[in-house]
Structure 1
Amino acid sequence: MKGFAERVATVQEYYFSAKLREVNQLITDGKPVINLGIGSPDLAPDRMVIDALKSTAENPKAHGYQNYQGIPELRIAMAEFYAREYKVTLNPNKEILPLMGSKEGIMHVSMAFLNPGDQVLIPDPGYPTYTSVTSLLGAEPIFYGLDLEKKGRPDFEALEKLDLSRVKIMWINYPQMPTGAAGSKEILIELVTFAKKHDLVLVHDNPYSHILNPEPLSILAIPGGEEVALELNSLSKTFNMPGWRVGMLCGRADWVEAVLKVKSNMDSGMFLGLQKGAIAALSLGKNWFTDLDELYQNRRKLVWKMADLLQLSYSKDSAGLFVWCKVPEGKSPDELVDWLLYEKNIFITPGKIFGPAGENYVRISLCMPEFKILEAINRIKP
């Protein structure tokens, strides 16, 4: 054995991959752990979605290899969703690429654009996969700050002082994970202008736009955005389908085609039943989002109560599936996380895994039923 590839040394196992093994072992050992750490919706998809999957699976001709670009009906449904929800017109044959989850798209987009030595702008705090994929490909992550008092506006003033000549991609994410900063149309306009000025590929990772967010936005709806940006989206959070692994990449045709070259060498297409279920999900109306928001609003109020008990500070002006909480001065986030897990059997996420700016924070998920969050509150009460 001559050793592993050097790229393996540039990353660690994904935090939740390792931590959930520990949490699951505690559960196996009889500990009643309440998992408020991960953003995996605990709710079922709509009945129409499940029925579409079942009826397709019962068709003996449905089990063969599928087209690398998905069936035409799926791409059309995705285009109709973008037209209806974001007022964005997309060509379903050239400007949409279905994905096996949007996380897959982070790797595919990066492989399509990055060479070793290129640089990538990554929000701090931000989704850890942006950094790990960048490192795996031999590129260099450059972290930029966000102003959480201004809806997560990037620190453009600091960015303009950098040498950006080697920067190829800039990752953006609104509503922002992990902070819940909602972003705004004004911020997206600034980002498009910035990307044009510095010849960057903006990639907007947009899976939370319909969760506790009254104004869903797409970077592709911004004038000029179609020239400088791609957008990843997902059915995982919006339609309670995280395990189905259905996402999409949208944007200019030549860039989508380049990503397809990568993707088509790495998988053989999505099971037809998943595609039919996705089509059913994408056809759901406003009532679906309204009902989902009401449920998450109720859960969030309880998480705010939990945060108050723990003397954490947080913003109520946020969106998405999490509450981003600052630990009191002089207190240790790691000690809080460990105390909750090992003494109270409650799992929350330390903010440091999302970057240096998350060092004094923790993140609490809304993906648990109200009675479980109430149980967590009762465990914490003195």
Structure 2
Amino acid sequence: MKPANRLAFIKEYYFSKKLQEIREMQHNGIEVINLGIGSPDLPPPFDAVAQMQLAAKQEKAHQYQSYRGVDELREAFANFYKRNFQVDVNAHAEILPLLGSKEGVMHISMAFLNEGDEVLIPNPSYPTYTSVTKLVGAKPVFYELKEAQGWQPNFQELEQQDLSKVKMMWLNYPHMPTGAKAGKNVFHDAIKFAQKHHILLVNDNPYSFILNDQPDSLLAYPEAKEVGLELNSLSKTFNMAGWRVGAVLGSKENLQSILKVKSNMDSGMFLPIQLGAAVALNENEDWFKNLDFIYQNRKTKLLELVQKLGCQLEERALVGLFVWAKIPSGYKSSEEFSEHILQTHHLFAAPGTVFGSAGEGYIRFSLCVDEATIEKAIKRVEA
């Protein structure tokens, strides 16, 4: 059977294919240390798991649930935003829980993009922004982020382009894969830019609480809800990647459009997951301090490994779950260097080109492995 034409414009997700290759190596007796995937290995909050287990015993726990999510979860998201971002969000009208924020990338695109619309996408960035844009028949238009400019968008350059067909713009701060935080005026300038050109602005914000003492939100800025949406997730902040729970926040009108798509795509989120997630969102500051303590120790070790591999690091402090570094001189491409350390040291790290052409010359390492494993990787390189 011939597949749909839309599949001709996208490839299998890089990590899906690469992880299969790594599994085959391990099946053949080669122990590969995977430093490429941002899937937290630490446990979720104990009380969130306990609440999920308790909720699973409720009489109606296993029935279909509301497409809008239960009150407890939406209210927990509202309290989380108020407490951590000083943002007031109406729990009943301005929050829509999702089966992970990756689902939100698709739902938002389906709700607002027509065939032929253009979408401004950062380069480098999360590959799903591009693939989903193509899947819905829209056109990716990349705006390049540069290390020399702190991986920030250049709105003056964007103003010189033909923006007549642009319908949406993706932001992602703290930025993946580089770890850059939004500059002082980025969200303010982005809102003004979106207002001027009638563009829907979407900030994907899952990394604000990893090694970051100043979390920020697009919605904290005046008039943001008029032109903007924000995606958030419990995957990284609370080590709940496999639970598949996140949310999109924004105006009632915009969320109603997304709900039209979502309500035709799933039948609600498992109730125990929602109630467990609500408990996680109410964790206190100690949760974040303990998480950062672990990640900072891992990062110190990982930086040692990265330097032993001959990679160069940025001087500025970067946040999030990854270390982004320049590959050593002498290699033709990021993929060549990534393949070299995989075959030579049995270490996997993601080549920067996975995230766009502007990622050429860089490689990304994950903090989602324990210190002992990073130490083992260091010894392999030293040997």
Contact 2:335/2:353 (8 A) holds in 1: no
CA distance in 2, matches of 1:7, 1:287: 47
| Distance across 2 between alignment mates of 1:228 and 1:152 | 23
Letter in 2 for 1:27: Q
Partners of 1:260 and 1:185 in 2: CA distance: 33
Equivalent residue number for residue 158 of structure 1? 157
Q: CA deviation at 1:261?
A: 0.3
Give distance in 2, aligned partners of 1:295 and 1:81.
22
Give the C-alpha shift of residue 367 in structure 1.
0.3
Aligned to 1:323: 323
Alpha-carbon distance in structure 2 between the residues aligned to 1:48 and 1:30: 38
Partner of 1:38: 37
- How far residue 149 of structure 1 moved from its aligned partner, in angstroms, is 4.1
Deviations 1:103-127 (A, max 9, x none): 0000000000100100000000000
SS at match of 1:270: coil
For residue 72 of structure 1, report the CA deviation from its aligned partner. Answer: 0.8
How far the C-alpha of 1:225 sits from its partner, in A, is 1.0
Does structure 1 residue 365 correspond to structure 2 residue 366? yes
Partner of 2:297: 298
Bigger drift between 108-117 and 141-150 goes to 141-150
C-alpha distance in 2 between matches for 1:378 and 1:191: 45
Contact 2:145 2:358 in 1 (8 A): no
Percent identity between the aligned chains? 52
Partner letter of residue 102 of structure 1? S
Deviation for aligned residue 1:28: 2.1
Residue 278 of structure 1 is matched in structure 2 by 277
Question: Does structure 1 residue 219 correspond to structure 2 residue 206?
Answer: no
Contact 1:296 1:366 survives alignment (8 Å): yes
Partner of 1:77: 76
Indicate whether 1:381 and 2:378 are aligned. Answer: no
Q: Please say if residues 348 and 365 of structure 1, whose CA atoms lie closer than 8 Å, have aligned partners that are also in contact.
A: yes
CA deviations on 1:219-248 (whole Å, 9 max, x unpaired) are 000111111110000000000000000000
Alignment match, 1:352: 353
| Count of residue pairs the alignment pairs up | 381
Q: Deviations over 1:254-293 (max 9, x none)?
A: 0011000000000000001100110110010011011111
Whether the 8 Å contact between 1:185 and 1:217 is mirrored in structure 2 is: no
Question: 1:142 matched to which residue of 2?
Answer: 141
**C-alpha separation between the residues in 1 aligned to 2:328 and 2:165?**
39
Q: CA deviation at 1:35?
A: 0.7
Q: CA deviation at 1:147?
A: 3.7
In 1, Cα distance between equivalents of 2:97 and 2:37:
24
**Is the contact between residue 52 and residue 276 of structure 2 (CA under 8 Å) also seen in structure 1?**
yes
2:170 corresponds in structure 1 to 171
| Distance across 1 between alignment mates of 2:150 and 2:286 | 27
One-letter amino acid of the counterpart of residue 107, structure 2: H
1:168 Cα shift?
A: 0.5
Q: Which amino acid aligns with 1:301?
A: T
Segment drifting more, 129-138 vs 25-34: 25-34
Aligned-pair CA distance for 1:150: 4.3
Q: Is structure 2 residue 187 aligned with structure 1 residue 188? A: yes
Moved more, 178-187 or 117-126: 178-187
C-alpha contact 1:101 1:247 (8 A) present in aligned 2: yes
Alpha-carbon offset, residue 214 of structure 1: 1.1
Q: For 1:67 and 1:258, locate their aligned partners in 2 and report how far apart those are by CA, in whole Å.
A: 16
Q: Distance in 2 between matches of 1:218 and 1:116?
A: 30
| Number of the residue aligned with 1:52 | 51
Asked if residue 88 in structure 1 is aligned to residue 106 in structure 2, the reply is: no
- Write the letter of the residue equivalent to 1:222: Y
For 1:120, what is the secondary structure of its paired residue? strand
Query: TM-score, with normalisation over the residues of structure 1?
Result: 0.98
Counterpart code for 2:306:
A
Task: Map 1:192-341 onto structure 2 (within 5 A).
Answer: 192-315=191-314, 316-332=316-332, 333-341=334-342
The SS at the match of 2:145 is strand
Once the two structures are superposed, residues 294-326 of structure 1 have per-residue CA deviations (whole angstroms, 9 ceiling, x without a partner) of 111111111111111111112251111001111
Instruction: Report how far residue 155 of structure 1 moved.
Output: 1.7
Instruction: Give CA deviations for 1:42-82 in whole Å, capped at 9, x if unaligned.
Output: 00001101101111112343111110011111101111111
The root-mean-square deviation of aligned C-alpha atoms, in Å, is: 1.1
> Deviations 1:17-44 (Å, cap 9, x if unpaired)?
1111111222222211111000000000
Q: Does 2:64 correspond to 1:65?
A: yes
Q: Is residue 147–residue 155 contact of structure 1 (8 Å, CA) maintained in 2?
A: no
Please identify, of 149-158 and 283-292, the stretch whose mean Cα deviation from structure 2 is larger. 149-158
- In the TM superposition, 1:124-139 aligns within 5 A as 124-139=123-138
Give ranges in structure 2 of 5+ residues lacking alignment. Answer: none
Between the aligned partners of 2:144 and 2:374, the Cα distance in structure 1 is: 32
Unaligned runs of 5+ in 1: none
Provide the rounded CA distance (Å) in 1 between the counterparts of 2:156 and 2:148. 16
Instruction: Find the residue that maps to 1:204 and give its secondary structure.
Output: strand
Which residue of structure 2 aligns with residue 13 of structure 1?
Answer: 12
